[in-house]
Amino acid sequence: MTVKKIHCLLIALLGVAIASCEKEPSTSDLHRDYLVYTACDPETDFAAFDTYYLPDSILLIGSSDKTEYWKDESALKIIRAVADNLDARNFTRVEDKEAADLGVQLSYVKRVTYFVGYDYPYWWWYYPYYWSPGYWGDWIGWHYPFPVYYGYTAGSLLTEILDLEGDRQTGKKLPVLWDSFIGGLLSPSETLNMNRTIEGVNQAFVQSPTLTK
């Protein structure tokens, strides 16, 4: 998959427009809009997977020097939205991480800006409290089978689906099979922010018809 095939959805309050893009536009131009990007490994047959593990918290990326997790009712609404979409695609959520075929991790960027590049180390290498590969097993790194390049700014939600059954004999890098980025979520209204986030999660799955059993 090339970068140009990563789809970008610009959703306005009064309309919807779809466009292909490579990076997030300036947030100064998006004070009324939000964006949904999705990228998927074109070689993955999701019908081969049955179960997934989704933690009950969202990692917060900000300026704190301590690990922060978002666990309140708002966070649970977002987690439920992801789980509902996966369940609707005929995947089964399990409580035992060791028994899952897929891992799902959610992260929310509060303040800072990071950039993702396909040809240099992923940004979480510079942020020590991100989900580590070790959280999912004895992996020593991450592997994206598709090119990725975009930025994460304040008010962004990142969702990644990982292949927990991946081949650990080739470098022990944990494959990321699907990636979703929702940007431009911050507004003065908390209710609007939550509505945008849930709608963005749902739209990410609409944009990914191959992510199903």
Tokens of 58: 């969202």
pLDDT in tens, 24-48: 444 344 345 678 999 999 999 999 9
Q: Quote the distance between the C-alpha of residue 168 and its chain's center.
A: 23
**CATH domain 3-206 topology:** Double Stranded RNA Binding Domain (3.30.160)
Residues contacting residue 82 through CB under 8 Å, at least 6 positions apart: 54, 104, 106, 159, 201
Q: Are 182 and 200 in contact (CB under 8 A)?
A: yes
Contact between residue 19 and residue 12 where contact means Cβ atoms under 8 Å apart: no
Q: What's the pLDDT at 142?
A: 75
Mean pLDDT of 67-74: 89
Q: Any idea where the domains of the chain sit in the sequence?
A: 3-206
pLDDT of 109 reads 82
pLDDT at res. 67: 75
